[in-house]
Amino acid sequence: MDGSGSWDAIDWNQIKEPRPPRSSSRGMEDFLLEDEEVYAQGHGVVLLNTDEAGILSVTNFRLLFVSQATKGVIELGTIPLTAIEKINDDVKLQPLPRQHDKKQPRELLQVIGKDMRVIVFDFLPKTKQKNEVFDALRRYSKPTHLWDLYAFSCDPSTVYQKSDPKMRLLKEYHRLFRKWFPHSGSEFEKDLRNEWWRVSKVNSTYSLCSTYPSALIVPRSISDEDLLQASSFRSGRRLPVISWCDPGSGAVLARSSQPLVGLMMNFRNNTDEKLVSALCTQIIDATGSLRKLYIVDARPRANALANGAKGGGSESASNYPRSEVLFLGIQNIHTMRDSLFRLRDYVDTHGSVSSNGTSSAVSLVGDRRNRGSTWGGGNLNSMTQFSSMLGEWLNHIQSIMVGASWIAAQIVQESASVLVHCSDGWDRTTQLVALACLLLDPYYRTFNGFQALVEKDWLAFGHPFAERMGVPTITDNNSGSQFELLRQPSLGTLSNSPNRGALGSSVSTSNTTSGQSQTSNNSSPILLQVIYSFLGALC
């Protein structure tokens, strides 16, 4: 999408009429979803993970494998195109006793998923089926146009009529204010405010902050002019605004990016201090006690201080009355990515079980990275290595869960307000705010509520999904035909280890074309960690 990160990046009126029905099904009518179309197909294909033969189809949504014997979809061999991490057609079979005639050429295609699946298909020799499937995967894993994504194929008339994201955001703000949601558009657009907060339209054209929503909940005592002045003191102009509020107690959960305090941490902004202080000026009870404000910096303290060299840093409690600054010690996107890299590399190289409990193709097939070697299983050193990597990954999950739980607890138990930020305010901040909202508000634990939460705190507040989760691009390595689905880079961020390719895979820098070694710098399992944390909280 456009770098603005705004809702206006999509013209929701482009499609006014439903598209004509898809016509290409190639005999898969009983298995295709609405508007799903088959682009390429292979017959008599064997899924080596299970030794099942069937039909393998590349559609505009997924790689679909249907068993020839049971006439049913085999889930292990079926994966959405956007969930594919790597495609490799240069695969070597392990020398197993049940291996077919060694003189018979094998047409193998390996697909590695972001969910750690390693699946391998064996095509009929002396046919063009493998090349057709492989070429279709390369072509359709990244559509040329936004509207070619399968998400926009299903009944686009619904998108046109009911899916104005700005209106949905305002509807959620109405719910937070406990206001009745009128059906009249003119009434709905009226100023929304109460004795403490208001909704500002100062960012309606995204001129204040291109990665913030068009409507912002702010303290009622803060003017639009104040917002304009305060924004200059925060990284990316992502000034403190309210994400969730409790009309009963007056407590708020706010978010921002880091303040630009400088190397000596002595730069100040009076308007920013006024805005932050306004988050906690209400009295809690009849005794006249003023509300406390916790400023939660998601980063390790050392990292926050190091950001001072680039103009960033963290707040000083002495500049914000009734406040306390805390550091949660959550690592950055690069550390999170590398932690998952190590865990996935181990599973890919040594694992004997796939992501759904079925025998993994790693035990059958070796790639060029490990030259066919696999772990026979069971030695103590390997298990210790696995435990270490798994423990490291789970420690990161725990840090996020503990941080979000602590934030929610202060709002509930102390009626305190909490301001959360990290560096940019769109990764760790989004994780903590979203999880805290899940704990604070039961509505977000419903289907409609979870959708509203994702739209409010992830999409509207500019989480870079394309970089973190991977809008895939195909890169052709100089040696062989191994294709990585790599991420698009951001400017001005730390570089990744040169021997790392896409998430969960390793590539040599000598095997990548110029400029490609930096393409995965900003991929990171941010949303995956929230899903892990959410499931952990439910358990």
Residues 85-112 pLDDT 10s: 888 888 776 554 454 555 566 789 999 8
Instruction: State how far the alpha carbon of 338 is from the alpha carbons of 65, 196, 401, 504, 533, in Å.
Output: 32, 43, 20, 9, 19
Rounded to an integer, what distance in angstroms lies between the CA atom of residue 265 and that of residue 302? 13
User: Over 60: is that where the pLDDT of 13 sits?
Assistant: no
What amino acid is encoded at 154 in this protein?
A: C
**Residue 197 annotated as binding site:** no
Q: Which of 288-292, 377-381, 441-445 shows the highest mean pLDDT?
A: 441-445
131 is in an annotated binding site: no
Residue 323: which H helix or E strand, with range?
strand 323-327
The per-residue pLDDT for 93 is 66
Asked whether residue 365 carries a pLDDT value surpassing 70, the answer given is no
Going from the C-alpha of 406 to that of each of 401, 410, 435, 457, the distances in angstroms are 9, 6, 11, 19
pLDDT at 139: 85
Q: Where are the domains of the chain?
A: 26-93+102-155, 163-179+187-331+391-464+522-536
* Residue pointed to by tokens 């509930």: 412
Nearest-10 Cα torsion for 444, 448, 451, 456: -60
Q: Does residue 3 have a pLDDT over 70? A: no
pLDDT of the residue at 370: 41
**Bridge partners, residue 421, by sequence:** 297
Same CATH topology for 26-93+102-155 and 163-179+187-331+391-464+522-536: the answer is no
Strand partners, 359: 353
Residue 342 predicted with pLDDT over 60 = yes
**Measured between alpha carbons, how far is 315 from 106 in angstroms, rounded to an integer?**
62
Q: Between 3.90.190.10, 3.30.1360.20, 2.60.120.640, 2.40.50.700, what CATH number should domain 163-179+187-331+391-464+522-536 receive?
A: 3.90.190.10
Return the higher-pLDDT residue of 340 and 212.
Answer: 212
Q: Give the predicted TM-score (pTM) of the model.
A: 0.76
267: its two tokens: 């730069």
Question: Rounded to the nearest 5°, which phi and psi values hold at 445?
Answer: -95, 15
* 218, pLDDT greater than 60: yes
* 270 labelled binding-site residue: no
What is the predicted pLDDT for the residue at 461?
Answer: 96
The pLDDT of residue 277 is 93
CA distances from 462 to 140, 159, 411 (A): 26, 21, 25
Q: Tell me the pLDDT tens digit for each residue of 478-508.
A: 444 444 443 333 322 322 322 333 333 333 3
Exposure string of 185-197, with b = 16+ CB inside 10 Å and e = fewer, is eeeeeeebeeebb
348 is in an annotated binding site: no
Q: Judge contact between 292 and 322, C-beta under 8 A.
A: yes
Sign of CA dihedral 172, 177, 183, 185: negative
Average pLDDT for 415-424: 96
Q: Is the pLDDT of residue 513 over 60?
A: no
Residue 423 annotated in ligand binding:
yes
Catalytic one among 209, 422, 437, 539? 422
pLDDT computed for residue 469 by the predictor: 75
Flag whether 333 is marked binding. Answer: yes
Task: Determine the pLDDT at residue 537.
Answer: 66
b/e code 32-64 from CB counts within 10 Å (16+ = b): beebbbbbbbbbebbbbbbebebbbbbbbbbbb
Residues 490, 537: Cα–Cα separation, whole Å: 32
Across the chain, what does the average pLDDT equal?
77
Residue 309, marked binder: yes
33, two tokens = 């979803």
Residues of the chain above pLDDT 70, percent: 70
Using DSSP, state whether 263 is helix, strand or coil. Answer: coil
- Of the listed ranges 36-50, 289-303, 344-358, 446-460, the least confidently predicted one is 344-358
Residue-wise pLDDT tens digits, 446-486: 999 999 999 999 999 999 987 887 664 333 344 444 444 43
Q: Would you place residue 293 in the very low, low, confident or very high pLDDT band (cuts 50, 70, 90)? A: very high
Which CATH architecture group holds 26-93+102-155? Roll (2.30)
For 213-224, what is the mean pLDDT?
94
Q: Which of 397, 365, 345, 335 is nearest to 501 (CA)?
A: 345
Task: Report yes or no: 364 and 120 within 8 Å, Cβ to Cβ.
Answer: yes
Question: How far is 268 from 260, CA to CA, in rounded Å?
Answer: 8
Q: Percent of the chain having pLDDT more than 90?
A: 46
Q: Let me know if 422 is a catalytic residue.
A: yes
Write the single-letter amino acid at 432: L
pLDDT, tens only, 127-158: 899 999 999 998 887 776 667 778 777 655 55
| pLDDT score at 411 | 95
- The phi, psi pair for 310, rounded to 5°, reads -105, 15
Listed range (156-170, 361-375, 438-452) with the worst mean pLDDT: 361-375
Beta pairing class for 293-297 and 323-327: parallel
332 is an annotated ligand-binding site residue? yes
- What tokens appear for 203 in the block? 């960012």
d(CA 485, CA 278): 46
Confidence at residue 162, expressed as pLDDT on a 0 to 100 scale: 55
**What integer pLDDT is reported at residue 106 of this predicted model?**
79
Among 257-261, 367-371, 533-537, the minimum mean pLDDT is found in: 367-371
Q: Is 297 annotated as a binding residue?
A: no
> Does the pLDDT of residue 202 top 50, yes or no?
yes
425 is annotated as contributing to ligand binding: yes
Band (pLDDT 50/70/90 cuts) for residue 366 is very low
The reply to whether 426 sits in an annotated binding site is yes
What three-state secondary structure class fits 284? coil
**CB neighbour list of residue 256: distance below 8 Å, 6 or more residues apart:** 234, 238, 239, 240, 241, 419, 420, 421, 425, 429
